[in-house]
Amino acid sequence: MKRVYLGEFEELVLLVVAMLESDAYGVKITHEITDQTNRSVRLNQVHAALHRLEDKGMINSKMGDPTPQRGGRRKRIFTITAFGQNTLAEMKTVRAHLWNLLPSSMKIVGG
């Protein structure tokens, strides 16, 4: 099977989507990333990443219910697919494996 590559930012977004479970949408994800990582992220970057992820089949989306806060507009709610979960898990395993192979002096830095 053809391997799908995830960029660093995409991986981050995918993780956040997974984390937020059924409440992942544009603004929420952006704020979450800012809060959790102190990175300054722009809304459009997140949207672009979400699109790419959806194209790659890592996430699904559906329109949520309208809410009064956004002028009655609906949110698009993203959920991670099984394929997305597998990919994340796989990446984590690969990383963990690689971490294990690092010389012990380096491990301290990362730890």
Candidate list 38, 40, 69, 105; residue touching another protein; CB under 8 A: 69
- 34 touches another protein (CB under 8 A): no
Task: Kindly report the length of the chain.
Answer: 111
- 47 touches another protein (CB under 8 A): yes
Residues 6+ apart with CB under 8 A from 33: 12, 13, 16, 39, 41, 46
Which range touches another protein (CB under 8 A), out of 6-14, 68-76, 81-89, 97-105? 68-76
What is the C-alpha to C-alpha distance for residues 37 and 58, in angstroms, rounded to an integer? 22
- 43 touches another protein (CB under 8 A): yes
**Do residues 28 and 7 lie in contact, with contact meaning Cβ atoms separated by under 8 Å?**
no
- 31 touches another protein (CB under 8 A): yes
- 79 touches another protein (CB under 8 A): no
